[in-house]
Structure 1
Amino acid sequence: MKKYIYLIFVLVLAVSCKEEEKKADSFSLKEIVNKQKYQMELYQVEANEYTLVVLNRLTGKVFVGKNASGWYEATNADSIPVYKTPTYSIKVFKGPESSPQISLMDEKEGELYMYIVGHTANFYNTNAAIKALERS
C-alpha cells in the first residue's frame, strides 16, 4: 500500500514540474521578442548634426529623425512581410554627400533594401536585378 502512495506522489510531482517548465518557456520567448523588437542606430553627420534611425524588427518599418526637427517613416515601395519574431536588421553608413544610407535586411528571405536619406523617396530592393537575371 505504501508503494502505491509513493508512486502516486511521484507521478503528481513529475506532472506538476512539467507544467511549470512549459509556462516558463513561453514567458521567456515573449520577453526575448519584446526586448529585441527595436533596433536603433545613431549616425553623426557633422559636429552638431545627427540622424537617428529606428527599426521595428517585426514589421520592417524604419523611422528617421534628424536632430530635433521631427521624425518620418522611410517607406518601402513594395510591401514586406510582418513576422512574429525579430527578423529585420539595419546598418547605417555614409552615403553620397555625407548623408546616411540605410540598408534593411530581411534575414529570413534574404532580401536587401536600400534607402538614402534625402535622396530616395522609398527603400528599393537591391535583389531586383539579381532576380531579373535569374528569370532570363
Structure 2
Amino acid sequence: MKKTGFVLVGMAMALVFGLVLSACGDGAGSGGGGGSVTVTNFPSDEKGYIYVYPDTGDGTITTRKEYAAATGFDTRVATTEGSSLSPFPLYTPDWDQRWKDTGTYLVVLEYINYIMFKTGVAFSKGSATIDLNDMTNWSTLPNN
C-alpha cells in the first residue's frame, strides 16, 4: 500500500512539473512562445535582424529624415534577439520575454548591406507576414 502511494505521488509530481514547463514554454515558438515576423521571398539561407516600431501615423515614410525620426532606438517595441532566419522570433526590447502585441506597426529588416522597411504592418498576437518585394529599400529614399 505504501509503495503504491509513493508511486502515485511521484506520478502526480511529474505531471505537475510537466504542465508547468509546457505552460511556461521555452520562448522558442511553442508553449509560452510569442510573436514572429515571416518574410516571404526572403533568401532561405540568409540571416537578418527585425526591428518593430510604432507606425508612423499616416503610414508613409518618404525621406531618410522621416525614417530616422520613426526609428529611434528608444521607440522600438520589439526586436530579434540576434541574427536569425525567417520567421524571425520577436522579443521585447530588453529581451526578457517574447513580444505578443496586436496592432499596426513599422517593420525594419536589416540583412547583408540592406535596410528594408514597411509601414502599416498588421500584427496579431505579435505575429505578421511581409513580402520582401513589398518593402522599401532605405537607400532609395532622398535625404531631405
Alignment TM class, shorter chain as reference: 0.3 to 0.5
Larger Rg: 1
Greater helix content? 1
- TM-score between the two structures when normalised by the length of structure 1: 0.38
- TM-score between the two structures when normalised by the length of structure 2: 0.36
Greater strand content? 1
